[in-house]
A and B are shown apart, each in its own frame.
Chain A
Amino acid sequence: MAAPALKALRGKSGWAPGVLRAVCPLLGQTQVRWSRYGPEFRDPLIDKEHYRKPVAELTEEEKYDQELKKTQLIKAAPATKTSSVFADPVISKFTNMMMKGGNKVLARSLMNQTLEYVKRKQFEKYHAASGEEQATIERNPYTIFHQALKNCEPVIGLVPILRGGHFYQVPVPLADRRRRFLAMKWMITECRKNKHRRTLMPEKLSHELLQAFHNQGPVIKRKHDMHKMAEANRALAHYRWW
């Protein structure tokens, strides 16, 4: 009942920016989970540069947003986020996925050790290499991490769809966040499952990251397998209705 009204209104132009949301903040959403914050609370924005921008540089829309934010209640910043230059959202997400049983201290120390190992291995290679090769060797562990995860992201995924009593694996385009999640998940699963009992996580993870950085290794293979399966099931693509 409310959804068609929303769709009709979205097409209208000439509304002041943000009016629709101001008028009907919950139109089209069903509240399932409850939280200690009321529905009127907005998420905090932790970006120093955003607030330091001089007023002259802002567009109309930004000025309106700024004024609007002054009247809104804001949630508290979570304990994992800071304005520090060393804070990286991808690294934080990966650390949380590695965490077991709420042991963030251990997960973070493993992550730091992994990055340290990556850096050490790259420096060893750097010192052992000749002049021209030295220019090609990447030593920043953060760029290696980001590039490795980007290389592991699948482009297309498979979704089981029920038709006529059978589940068919249908190729489906993936959203960005799903791709990032799959890349991280595969990396972590690979490092937990296929390692020798005595090797520790940082060592194995640094090894896998370096391999993925060079587009080699089991995680990249898994990504290619996923692509091949999707290519093989091309005929089922019309089972998708969205």
Chain B
Amino acid sequence: MAAPCVSCAGALSFRLFLLGRVSLARRQGLWQTAAASLQTAPGSQILRLIYTTVVTTKKNVPASRCETYTEDFIKKQIEEFNIGKRHLANMMGEDPETFTQEDIDRAIVYLFPSGLFEKRARPIMKHPEQIFPKQRAIQWGEDGRPFHFLFYTGKQSYYSLMHEVYGKLLQIEKHQNQLRAKGLLPEKTETKDLIGSRWLIKEELEEMLVEKLSDQDYVRFIQLLEKLLTLQCDPAEEKFVQKFRRSVAIQSKKQLIEPVQYDEQGRAFSTSEGRRKSAKAEAVVYEHGSGRITVNGADYLLYFPITQDREQLMFPFHFLDRLGKHDVTCTVSGGGRSAQAGAIRLAMAKALCSFITEDEVEWMRQAGLLTPDPRVRERKKPGQEGARRKFTWKKR
């Protein structure tokens, strides 16, 4: 049992990568030498190796890679990845056929626990397509003549795409003119749902075409697609356009609604937590009540003598016209008076979600009652007096 495991481990250590734009050859060398040197070499050698890595992966410096990865190389990497995946599945005692990427991630986290804060520095194992950036094959043949007719534009994929889309546009217009001439043009059908999806952003388009684009190029392209959408298209054209759209999640669906609980007397209530700055609050909202709010055992009028804080407590209820209809008991700790009021407000709003309709939840979300406030105290920086205030400027 020991021997196969060692070989698996060997294959795995060969396959593991640190995510970052470091060349594969150098990285392989690093891992192998690191793995070998851990047993034999003195500490200074390891330190020297680490030093080189730091130099090559400097932040804010675009990785100036001159190496190109050949197709054979990428194919070999993919084969090795698949083999490594099967080994990993065997090691974890799972079925190699149904081993997904999430399973791989979980296995790596289990086998190589890392306490590093930078998520990108932790060991990962992903498909080579996601690690090696897409590169284009050589664009010209042996005689030096380029394959694509738009090669000399410099952005052949972009211009050929524009050409294609414009061709489709002209075709549809011609077809529609013909129909209109015969009088067979169908009436305008319902508008398509444009809200559930968004256009590709410029970075995504660049990734798709494997080419650098300028802002104007991108804008012109989206303009053309919009024009295509305004004309009625066949399902084939729609499918073509859908390639350039990504779906957008509906935010209210992400809101977690607490389940309603029942206490000994049979009253329905719902509990929820809220935080603001360093204040933590937990609110228990009863479905039927008379509008009494108890904070840390005391009445809210005594706990919050300032009107602004009491207005914040009242806000979620007043917004939904349920001012005297619920009883609330909350506990709060930490923070200052305004932070505690904000924390209780968030907790109450979240707890209220269990008793109201979906539309009302969406209204509360749009009024900003269900978003935790991320603003915290900004740290003081060295060389300045405070977070933003600089020292008095002296001429000499």
Residues of A within 8 A of B (CB): 1-2, 5, 9, 12, 14-16, 19, 22-24, 27, 35-37, 44-46, 48, 51, 64, 67-77, 79-80, 82-84, 87, 104-105, 108
Chain A CB within 8 A of B369 CB = yes
Contact call A79/B338, Cβ cutoff below 8 A:
yes
The complex places the Cα of A68 from the Cα of B252 at a distance, in Å, of 12
Q: Chain A contact residues: over half helix, strand or loop, or mixed?
A: loop
Chain A residues with CB below 8 A from B196, complex form: 71
**B251–A75 contact, CB under 8 A?**
no
Which residues of B, 305-330, contact A by the 8 Å Cβ criterion? Answer: 306-308, 311-312, 314-315, 318-319, 321
CA distance A48 to B366 in the complex (A): 11
| B195 interface residue per 8 A CB criterion | yes
Q: Do A44 and B251 form a contact, CB below 8 Å, given A23-B222, A76-B372, A79-B308?
A: no
Would you list which residues of chain B between 347 and 367 have a CB under 8 Å from chain A? 362-363, 365-367
Instruction: List residues of chain B with CB under 8 Å of any chain A CB.
Output: 194-196, 198-199, 214-216, 219, 222-223, 226-227, 230, 248-252, 306-308, 311-312, 314-315, 318-319, 321, 338, 341-342, 346, 362-363, 365-369, 371-376
Q: How far is the CB of B203 from chain A (nearest CB, A)?
A: 13
**Which residue of chain B has the shortest Cβ distance to A35 in the bound complex?**
B375
Compute how far the CA of A73 lies from the CA of B370 in the bound complex, rounded to whole angstroms: 11
| B306 nearest in chain A by CB position | A105
List, sorted by A's number, 10 A–B pairs whose CB atoms are closer than 8 Å: A14-B227, A16-B226, A22-B199, A46-B367, A51-B363, A72-B251, A76-B372, A80-B308, A83-B367, A84-B318
CA–CA, A15 to B227, complex, Å? Answer: 8
Q: How many A-B residue pairs have CB under 8 A?
A: 106
Are A5 and B312 CB-contacts (below 8 A) given A70-B362, A75-B371, A77-B369? Answer: no
Whole-angstrom CA separation of A19 from B226 in the bound complex: 9
Beta-carbon contact of A12 and B223 below 8 Å = yes
- On whether the beta carbons of A74 and B368 are closer than 8 Å, the reply is yes
Are B216 and A1 touching (Cβ within 8 A)?
yes
Q: Say yes or no: B312 contacts A70, CB within 8 Å.
A: no
Q: A71-B250, A71-B251 are in contact. List 4 more A-B contacts (CB 8 A).
A: A51-B367, A68-B195, A74-B365, A79-B338
Rounded to whole angstroms, the CA-CA distance of A162 and B369 in the bound complex is 48
* Cα–Cα distance between A75 and B368 once the two chains are bound (Å): 6
With a cutoff of 8 Å between Cβ atoms, the chain B residues found around residue A23 in the complex are 199, 219, 222
- Which residue in chain B gives the minimum CB-CB distance to A104? B308
User: 10 closest Cβ contacts across the A-B interface?
Assistant: A44-B368, A77-B368, A76-B373, A76-B371, A36-B374, A51-B363, A67-B195, A71-B248, A82-B311, A83-B319
A47 to chain B, nearest CB (A): 8
How many angstroms from the CA of A157 to the CA of B222 in the assembled complex? 43
Give the docked Cα–Cα distance between A3 and B337 (Å). Answer: 46
B242 to chain A, nearest CB (A): 16
Task: State the CA gap A108–B368 with chains docked (Å).
Answer: 24
| Distance A80 CA – B308 CA, assembled complex (angstroms) | 7
Known contacts A16-B226, A77-B367; is-contact A70 B318 (Cβ 8 Å): no
**Would you call A71 and B249 a contact (CB within 8 A)?**
yes
When the two chains form their complex, are residues A64 and B367 in contact, meaning their CB atoms are under 8 A apart? no
Q: Please give, as numbers and ranges, the residues of chain B lying within 8 Å of A5 by CB-CB distance.
A: 215-216, 219
